[in-house]
């Protein structure tokens, strides 16, 4: 039975490691290169699957070698791919990424086939909503397909989480009203609210501002400093980050969201802060390895204490 449904993008990540990120117009020489599987939607799906969740991805890839390899990868990771569609109208998404020695990155995405995932494709996949507990969306596909997915899940009684990434500044309130939870990082929260989010205090102010748009829960991730959450009932949670030696932060936010969805399903919605804490640990571990999905830990790599209270 599918517990977590993700509607989102598959990209081939082309990562170059450099001593530092280049300035505009500057060329820097790389020290290492890696091709891997990425895309925020697929990353979140794989992160949850590696922990042991039953997950399904609704996505679109090109009718090309990258698309074929991508579907094989998802199957290997235990993801239900029956709604990963193939189109010959565009190529599989690609993401050139630069990662500096301190683990920071910048990313450009060419969406390709991802943008062709349509509202009709979501309607055709509606059957899998029946058993799901949570639906995860991001903003790397057509935004109207995202909104349609959020509405369909809400109508089916499924909890909806929207990861506002990349940030779209004029996002209509409909996206917030149809999302039970929104999750975004400090950069995205700054862009959306005009508040410079630099720590837990400024993050809580930004989260409260975003709550006024109609969502019930707002989580802001703060990289090495952890995460904060504000809820419409006035509750505020602050989770401190674990000290880790960061090698590559690419996809750490996705590891957090995939893991949060897993713990949210397994521990129940009343254990919200516990789900955040445990997701923070998983994301912290992911940054200690290079790569995107390849850096996400399997349940067997993690301390059993992280799964306390989880029966299956």
Binding of ligand RIB by 283 (CB under 6 A): no
Binding of ligand RIB by 186 (CB under 6 A): no
Rounded least distance, CB 16 to ligand RIB, Å: 13
Of residues 12-31, those binding ligand RIB (CB under 6 A): 13
Sheet bearing 105-107, strands edge to edge: 32-38, 11-18, 93-100, 105-107
Dihedral in degrees, nearest 10, Cα atoms 30, 225, 276, 234: -140
Annotation says 88 is catalytic: no
Rounded least distance, CB 272 to ligand RIB, Å: 23
Q: Output 5 or 165, the one with its CB closest to ligand RIB.
A: 165
Q: Output 45 or 206, the one with its CB closest to ligand RIB.
A: 45
Cα–Cα distance list, 45 to 49, 185, 216, 255 (Å): 6, 18, 23, 9
Binding of ligand RIB by 43 (CB under 6 A): yes
Interface with ligand RIB by CB under 6 A: which range of 37-45, 61-69, 146-154, 191-199? 37-45
> Which of 3, 7, 40, 160 is the binder for ligand RIB (CB under 6 A)?
40
Query: Of all residues in this chain, which one has the CB nearest to ligand RIB in the complex?
Result: 38
Report the DSSP pairing between strands 93-100 and 11-18.
Answer: parallel
Rounded least distance, CB 271 to ligand RIB, Å: 26
Binding of ligand RIB by 188 (CB under 6 A): no
Sign of CA dihedral 258, 264, 231, 274: negative
Binding of ligand RIB by 48 (CB under 6 A): no
Of residues 223-282, those binding ligand RIB (CB under 6 A): 250-251, 253-254
Q: How far apart are CA 132 and CA 127, in angstroms?
A: 10
Binding of ligand RIB by 46 (CB under 6 A): no
Binding mask 97-126 for ligand RIB (x = CB under 6 A): ----------x-x-----------------
Binding of ligand RIB by 11 (CB under 6 A): yes
Binding of ligand RIB by 38 (CB under 6 A): yes
Binding mask 136-165 for ligand RIB (x = CB under 6 A): ----x-------------------------
Q: Output 125 or 252, the one with its CB closest to ligand RIB.
A: 252
Q: How far apart are CA 58 and CA 80, in angstroms?
A: 9
Interface with ligand RIB by CB under 6 A: which range of 6-14, 151-159, 195-203, 228-236? 6-14
Binding of ligand RIB by 39 (CB under 6 A): yes
Which residue numbers are catalytic?
Answer: 254
Q: Which residues would be at the binding site for ligand RIB (CB under 6 A)?
A: 9, 11, 13, 38-40, 43, 95, 107, 109, 140, 250-251, 253-254, 292
């Amino acid at each position: 039975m599918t517990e977590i449904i993700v509607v989102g993008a598959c990209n081939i990540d082309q990562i170059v490691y450099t001593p530092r990120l280049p300035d505009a117009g500057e060329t820097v020489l790389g020290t290492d290169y890696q091709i891997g599987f990425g895309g925020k939607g697929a990353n979140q799906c794989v992160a949850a699957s590696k922990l042991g969740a039953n997950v399904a991805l609704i996505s679109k890839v090109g009718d090309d070698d990258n698309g074929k390899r991508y579907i094989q990868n998802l199957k290997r990771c235990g993801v239900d791919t029956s709604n990963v569609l193939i189109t010959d109208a565009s190529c599989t998404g690609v993401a050139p990424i630069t990662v500096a020695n301190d683990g920071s990155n910048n990313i450009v995405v060419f969406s390709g086939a991802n943008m062709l995932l349509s509202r009709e494709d979501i309607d055709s996949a509606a059957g899998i909503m029946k058993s799901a507990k949570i639906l995860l969306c991001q903003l790397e596909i057509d935004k109207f397909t995202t909104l349609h997915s959020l509405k369909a899940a809400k109508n089916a009684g499924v909890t909806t989480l929207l990861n506002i990434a990349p940030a779209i500044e004029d996002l209509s309130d409909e996206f917030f009203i149809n999302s039970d939870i929104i999750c975004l990082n400090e950069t995205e929260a700054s862009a959306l609210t005009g508040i410079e989010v630099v720590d837990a205090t400024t993050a809580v102010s930004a989260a409260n501002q975003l709550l006024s748009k109609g969502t019930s829960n707002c989580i802001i991730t703060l990289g090495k400093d952890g995460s904060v959450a504000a809820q419409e009932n006035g509750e505020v949670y602050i989770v401190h980050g674990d000290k880790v030696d960061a090698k590559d932060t690419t996809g750490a936010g996705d590891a957090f969201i995939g893991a949060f969805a897993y713990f949210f399903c397994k521990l129940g919605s009343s254990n919200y802060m516990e789900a955040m804490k445990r997701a923070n640990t998983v994301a912290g571990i992911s940054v200690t390895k290079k790569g995107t999905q390849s850096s996400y830990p399997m349940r067997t790599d993690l301390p059993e204490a992280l799964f306390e209270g989880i029966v299956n």
